[in-house]
Amino acid sequence: MVELGFPELTTEQIELLCQTAEDAARKYVLSKVTHKNIEFLDIIVEADGAKPVNVTVEIDLTLTPQTKDIDAEALVKAAVKEAHKATENFLRKLK
């Protein structure tokens, strides 16, 4: 973990941070799988602490049987990674 040296986040900034991470994860999943091939998609982003902020991203994804050639677990891992990248970019812009 890299210390970015940003000020303590406001409630609004934390909400925007969580929304940014969720949007990035959702966008990534939908860039790999069409909406009609997703049976269930739930993305939870939580930010704990003030300084440093710990961001947790959880994704629950169920694909339709027609998508048997897609590794849902690998897709979830990549989407979580994208969410964390979006989080880091958001925090760097606050500096």
Whether the per-residue pLDDT at 52 is higher than 80: the answer is no
pLDDT digits (tens, 9 = 90+) for 11-43: 898 999 999 999 999 999 999 999 999 999 999
Tally of CB atoms within 10 A around 79: 24
CATH number of 11-94: 3.30.300.100
Is the dihedral angle over the CA atoms 40, 28, 73, 53 positive or is it negative?
Answer: negative
Distance CA 37, CA 68 (A): 10
Prediction pTM value: 0.87
In the chain, domain spans? 11-94
Q: What is the mean pLDDT of the chain?
A: 89
